[in-house]
Amino acid sequence: MAKIVILGAGIAGHVAAAHLRRKLPKKHEVLVVSPNSNYQWIPSNIWVGIGRMKSEQILFPLPPLYKKKGIGYKQAKVTTFHPEGDAETPKPYVNVEYVVGDHKGKTEKVTYDYLINATGPKLAFDMTEGLNPGTNKAYSVCTYTHAEHAWHALNTLIQEMKQGKKAKILIGTGHAKSTCQGAAFEYILNVEKELRRHGVRDMAEVTWIANEHELGDFGMDGMLMSYGNNIMKSSEMVEMVFEDRGIKWIIGAGVNKIEDGVAHYETLDGEFHTETYDFAMLIPAFSGHGFKAYDKDNNDITKKLFKGFMIVDADYTPRPYEEWSVQDWPETYQNPTYDNIFAPGIAFAPPHAISKPRTSKNGTPISPAPPRTGMPSGMTAKLVADNIIDMINGKKDLHHKGSMGNMGAACIASAGYGMTQGSGVSITTFPIVPDYHKYPDTQGRKLGKTFGSIGLAGHWLKLALHYAFIYKAKMKPFWWLIPE
């Protein structure tokens, strides 16, 4: 009998647990360890942040579902990794600390045969001075509770605007190395739409601020795409959308300090500026959780497992940007030192950025970190689950592979909620990491598989996906037929 322990119950962890439990005989144990007892469909947080959805519409409790499906669950957080065990416990284990109930604060050794690290990122608000959700008039939509607070503050401002107050709204990235520009992009378009719906758009100045060197970079080095019968750069598409909606933009900006209604930032030109606001939503930097790892003799081996995030089968050799390749990216998400440990989704350490790194004239790095959220998280989690199943069944080689350098992704970015007046920006890209050798004339991606469109159908599709993926996450009948 094998015991598979999954750390984290976000998209990657939950997908892995679901597929493992469905495909493995009951004699094998699947155990999820997560400090969060609710599953949340994170892509819909932006709708909570504009008051168009309630938190209960995007989440559900995990313990009843896991009990029904035969998946073990501990509401705890991992603290240390012990991939060789120790003198007292010869099996590999992780130390976990309970976070609720009678066992709160107590630690336990959780042994495993296979370990999936799906802990995702730490929301590193502390890396930007003064950036703390709900303070200094700055908010977040990274969690459903953050999004609820953001809507409360935004709605209060909207009511004040109805009474004649002029307002400035600032949305984008809150650190020079932030990723997840897509969530901020969705949110600014939805906020702008809500201002129109409430009849106060003329009372607000709406500004985008981001560490991208040009609009539409999204941490993916931008893209050249098919747009109807035309070929368009993502920068041109986003500029078109912003101009159409009267949204101003500040790019190449590394926000480094937040005060009450004031964002301080440095530009790639090396200049320092401030931007005032009455409401801000700024995405923080993402970082690893700072886990420690020890061998059987209690020696620190953290560097064998972690490079900020977890080390996997990527090529981490330091090289100039011009020598980076899609071949550097992992295919199995397996740790090279301990072959029973995997890290799908955001938990794995990328070999390098996707967008070209840029620094200001002062030497400050200002460029997006590579995104690994959403669809790639689900696909890599399923891949890892399938490989573990093969290993349990005696197969030595890992047959399931999927690099972000040969993997496509689709993103439906909400541009405003409404069954008749809503809008969505639909973008597909192939591959996620551009392959400049294979597609040298189209910025590393294949036209026809990389395309964009804007319209009401995009909103309907995103709303349909919301309900489809909640259905899938609840493991309803035939859930596995819905792709990742």
pLDDT per residue as tens digits for the range 117-136: 999 999 999 999 999 999 99
DSSP H or E run through 254: strand 253-259
Q: Which two tokens stand for residue 156?
A: 């209060």
Can you tell me the mean pLDDT for 454-476?
Answer: 94
Prior bond to 431 cis, omega within 30? yes
Q: What is the pLDDT of residues 358-374, one digit of tens each?
A: 999 999 999 999 888 77
196 confidence band (pLDDT: 50, 70, 90): very high
| For range 281-297, the mean pLDDT | 96
Q: Tokens for 427, please give them.
A: 């973008």
pLDDT bracket for residue 409 (50, 70, 90): confident
**Which of 105-109, 220-224, 341-345 has the least mean pLDDT?**
220-224
pLDDT digits 0-9 by tens, 299-312: 999 999 999 999 99
More confident: 181 or 300:
300
Q: What spatial distance separates the first Cα and last Cα of the chain, rounded to whole Å?
A: 28
Q: What is the pLDDT of residue 362?
A: 97
Distance between CA atoms of residues 313 and 389, nearest Å = 19
Domain ranges of the chain: 3-123+287-392
pLDDT in tens, 142-173: 999 999 999 999 999 999 999 999 999 999 99
Among 74-78, 211-215, 223-227, 261-265, the minimum mean pLDDT is found in 223-227
Asked if 58 and 44 count as a contact pair (C-beta separation under 8 A), the reply is yes
CA proximity to 7, closest of 114, 106, 84: 114
Sheet strand arrangement including 262-267 = 253-259, 262-267, 272-276
Whether 397 shows a pLDDT value over 90: the answer reads no
Sequence-ordered list of residues with C-beta below 8 angstroms from that of 413, at least 6 positions apart, any chain: 182, 185, 186, 189, 424, 425, 426, 427, 458, 462
Residues in Cβ contact with 143 at an 8 Å cutoff, skipping those fewer than 6 apart: 40, 45, 123
- Mean of the pLDDT values across residues 221-242? 91
Cα-based torsion angle of the residue sequence 100, 147, 411, 220 in order, rounded to the nearest 10 degrees: -90
Q: Work out the burial of residue 120: count CB atoms within 10 Å of its CB; fewer than 13 is exposed, 13-18 middle, 19 or more buried.
A: buried
pLDDT tens digits along 248-275 = 999 999 999 999 999 999 999 999 999 9
The predicted structure's pLDDT at residue 445? 95
The whole-angstrom separation of Cα 462 and Cα 482 is 14
Distance CA 277, CA 16 (A): 42
**Strand 224-227 relative to strand 306-307: parallel, antiparallel, unpaired?**
unpaired
Collapsed DSSP state (helix, strand, coil) of residue 396:
coil
For the chain, what is the mean pLDDT? Answer: 95
For the cut 90, the answer to whether the pLDDT of residue 228 exceeds it is no
Half-sphere exposure of 265 (CA within 13 A, CB side): 27
d(CA 44, CA 427): 17
Q: Where are the alpha helices (DSSP H) in 256-374?
A: 302-305
What's the CA gap between 414 and 454, in Å, rounded?
A: 10
Which pLDDT belongs to residue 413? 87
pTM: 0.96
Query: What is the percentage of the chain residues whose pLDDT exceeds 70?
Result: 100
Q: Is the pLDDT of residue 410 over 90?
A: no
Q: What is the CATH number of domain 3-123+287-392?
A: 3.50.50.100
Residue 388: pLDDT band with limits 50, 70, 90: very high
Which single residue is written with the structure tokens 């336990």? Answer: 108
Residue that the structure tokens 């897509």 belong to: 182
- The reported pLDDT for the residue numbered 227 is 85
Contact 38, 60 (CB under 8 A): yes
